[in-house]
Copies of this chain bind each other. A is one copy, B any other.
């Protein structure tokens, strides 16, 4: 297998996803980056719902992201809430309207249909191959992993529920499937 071939397909697929996202966003007056931010906010846990986390996730500067979030706020797609303990921190939560919009997102539907149409998927190793590629690229570029707690080295199984070894806080069964900005794979 030539790396170049995989790369070409991957880049084409990324372009296609972005096209669909752009087309979908147009109907609501949203830019691709705004949809990405809102999508992230529907998937992240309570440690990771801040402007700073979105900034790291998107790989942009905080000023840029601040602007986009302001727009999403003005459109009533998310609401801001100050942190109780640290008053510098802002928590972002998608509104019902925001969640509904992301659920309808066409890229999701398009890809889902595409995956269903591919016959040879079960046991094809596509998911595993993609995952290890992503993992390797994140290591290679020293990027945060932004994955769910259930694959994190800090996550501990308790008799009742789970515990994050970093924050020493209990995690529910739902929470361990959400994206965390502090996520680290085991070495």
User: Do A136 and B114 have beta carbons less than 8 Å apart?
Assistant: yes
Q: Is A19 an interface residue (CB 8 A)?
A: yes
B114 engages A137 (CB within 8 Å) = yes
Main secondary structure of the interface of A (DSSP, over half): helix
Pair B126/A133 contact, Cβ less than 8 Å: yes
A85 within 8 A of B: no
Among B9, B14, B111, the residue within 8 A (CB) of A18 is: B14
Please choose the segment from A45-53, A69-77, A88-96, A116-124 that sits at the chain B interface, where 4 or more of its residues have CB less than 8 A away.
A116-124
Chain B residues positioned under 8 Å from A83 (CB to CB): none
B126 near A113 (CB under 8 angstroms)? no
Using a CB-CB cutoff of 8 Å, which residues 1-53 of chain A contact chain B?
1, 3-20, 22-23, 36, 39, 43
Copies of this chain in the oligomer: 2
Instruction: Kindly list chain B residues whose C-beta atoms are within 8 Å of the C-beta of A39.
Output: 11
The stretch of A140-148, A154-162, A163-171 in contact with B is: A140-148
- Which chain B residues border A137 with CB–CB below 8 Å? 13, 16, 110-111, 114
The residue on B at minimum CB distance from A32 is B18
* CA gap between A122 and B178 in the complex, in Å: 31
Most B CB contacts (10 A, CB to CB) among A122, A129, A139 go to A129
| Distance between Cα atoms of A76 and B120 in the complex (Å) | 45
What distance in Å separates the Cβ of A84 from its nearest Cβ neighbour in chain B? Answer: 30
